[in-house]
C-alpha cells in the first residue's frame, strides 16, 4: 500500500461555508476538551449550522472528523512531550550529538527517497526541495561541529591559563607545568 499523496478528498466539514468557521472552531474546541460526549457536541454543532441555514453533518462524517482531529492532536502532544523531555535532559554536548544524528538520519532519508523514486521520478521542484533539505542537514552538522570545536578550544585555553597561573604560584618549573598539562589535564603542552 503506497502512502497517500496530496490532501485527499475534502470532508463534509471542510466543505462548509466560511460562515460556519466559528461553529467549526467551537466544535473542535469542545472535542479537544474531552468533557462532553461526541453526540452532544454534534447535536449542538448541527443546531448552530441549522441557524446558519446549512445542512447538518452526519454522525459518521462528524466521527471521521473527530477521529482525524484526535489522531493529529495525539501526534502533536506526543511530539511536544518528547521535545520537552529531550530539552530537559540535553546539555550542549548531547544537543550536538542529537543534531549530528538527526542530520545523518535526514540525509539518509533524502537518499532513500531518491532511490525509491522509480518510474514516478521527481518533479524539478521536488528535486530542489530534497537538495535544499540535504544542504540544510549538512549545514546543521557543520555549525554544530564548529561550535563544539570552538568550545573545546576555549576550554583548552582556559585550562592553559589556569595551569600557568597555578604553576607560577606553586613555583613549579616550566617542565613540571607542561608535564602536569599533558598527564593530568590532557591538553597541549
pLDDT digits (tens, 9 = 90+) for 130-176: 777 777 777 776 776 777 778 777 877 777 777 677 777 777 777 87
What is the DSSP-derived secondary structure letter of residue 19?
G
pTM above 0.75, yes or no: no
Residue 82 and residue 34 share a domain: yes
Determine, yes or no, domain membership for 72: yes
Indicate if 74 and 19 belong to the same structural domain: yes
The answer on 161 and 73 residing in a single domain is no
Does a structural domain hold residue 164? yes
In order, the DSSP letters of 31-100 are HHHT-S-HHHHHHHHHHHHHHTT-PPPPHHHHHHHHHHHHHHHHHHHHHHHHHHHHHHH--HHHHHHHHH
The answer to whether 57 and 45 have CB atoms below 8 angstroms apart is yes
Same domain for 35 and 45: yes
Please indicate, yes or no, if residue 180 is contained in any of the structural domains: yes
Please check whether residue 5 lies inside any domain of the structure.
Answer: no
- Residue 189 pLDDT level (bands cut at 50, 70, 90): very low
Number of domains in the chain: 2
From residue 102, alpha-carbon distances to 99, 123, 150 in Å are 5, 26, 21
**Domain edge (last residue) among 89, 120, 137:** 89
Same domain, 120 and 61: no
Amino acid at each position: 500500500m503506497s502512502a497517500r499523496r496530496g490532501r485527499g478528498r475534502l470532508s463534509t466539514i471542510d466543505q462548509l461555508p466560511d460562515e460556519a468557521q466559528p461553529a467549526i472552531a467551537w466544535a473542535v474546541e469542545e472535542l479537544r476538551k474531552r468533557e462532553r460526549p461526541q453526540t452532544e457536541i454534534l447535536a449542538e454543532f448541527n443546531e448552530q449550522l441549522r441557524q446558519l441555514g446549512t445542512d447538518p453533518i452526519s454522525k459518521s462524517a462528524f466521527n471521521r472528523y473527530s477521529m482525524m482531529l484526535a489522531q493529529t492532536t495525539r501526534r502533536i502532544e506526543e511530539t511536544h512531550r518528547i521535545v520537552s523531555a529531550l530539552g530537559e535532559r540535553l546539555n550542549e554536548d548531547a544537543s550536538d550529538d542529537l543534531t549530528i544524528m538527526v542530520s545523518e538520519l535526514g540525509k539518509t532519508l533524502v537518499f532513500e527517497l531518491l532511490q525509491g523514486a522509480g518510474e514516478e521520478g521527481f518533479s524539478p521542484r521536488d528535486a530542489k526541495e530534497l537538495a535544499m533539505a540535504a544542504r540544510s542537514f549538512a549545514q546543521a552538522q557543520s555549525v554544530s561541529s564548529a561550535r563544539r570545536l570552538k568550545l573545546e578550544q576555549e576550554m583548552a585555553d582556559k585550562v592553559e591559563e589556569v595551569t600557568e597561573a597555578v604553576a607560577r604560584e606553586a613555583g613549579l618549573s616550566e617542565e613540571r607545568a607542561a608535564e602536569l598539562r599533558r598527564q593530568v589535564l590532557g591538553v597541549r603542552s
